[in-house]
Amino acid sequence: MLIGHFAVGMCAKKASPSVNLAVFFIAALFVDLIFPIFVLLDIEHVSIDHSITPVVPFNLSHYPYSHSLLMSVVYSLLAFILCTKWFKSKKISFIVGLSIFSHWILDFITHVPDLPITFGDYKVGLGLWNSIWGTIIIEGSLFIIGVYFYLKSKPGFNKKRNIIFWSMISLLLVAYFWGIFGPKPPENIPESAIAWAGFSIWIIVIMGYFADKKETSKLT
């Protein structure tokens, strides 16, 4: 899933209004944020294959350290423990951990059977990405719900933060539909280039931070 993960972050903000949106974006996108690092370290592998799905052309051939069910559970539990110490709140820590785990659930719905359970060969995926319009309807609906719940968290926008927030939403939607309907990247693109492009997610994380940043706030 693509923008659906950001929807999770915005919904999580509604459940914990005192925490900056960037925290929940990092949680909901955590495994995607560490994936490029593993690729650059030659631990995990991805290539471009236009025959994989009509929505996403990535052949995710090996990525158990970032995206397996086992590691998703591990990351979620570690986040719960660390956030309990940082935020001094089991509620916030649970929401952060759940946001991390939600990534695997949403990927299970959208991916073809390339999603690992552990480090073995058994992989799963319901394949929503085989349907362009099915993907847009389901993921678009999640995104609308996410924006709605974020606004219900009463972020108290000033003019600057309002501009940043809606610019972030616009950028996500443009990137989303460009990825689906725009020209596909060449199949011979180097694996490292795919990895470096993956770091662009941090742009949205940073925009989320400043869109949600109160004048006196830190991360909470």
CA distance 183 to 185: 7
Residue 219 lies in a domain: no
**Range of the structural domain that residue 33 is part of:** 3-212
CA angle 48, 56, 6 (to 5 degrees): 125
Residue 106 lies in a domain: yes
Residue 101 lies in a domain: yes
Residue 220 lies in a domain: no
pTM metric for this prediction: 0.94
Residue 14 lies in a domain: yes
Q: What are the pLDDT digits (tens) for 123-156?
A: 999 999 999 999 999 999 999 999 999 999 887 8
pLDDT < 50 positions in the chain:
216-218
Residue 217 lies in a domain: no
Residue 132 lies in a domain: yes
Residue 70 lies in a domain: yes
CA distance 175 to 155: 25
Q: How many domains does the structure of the chain reveal? A: 1
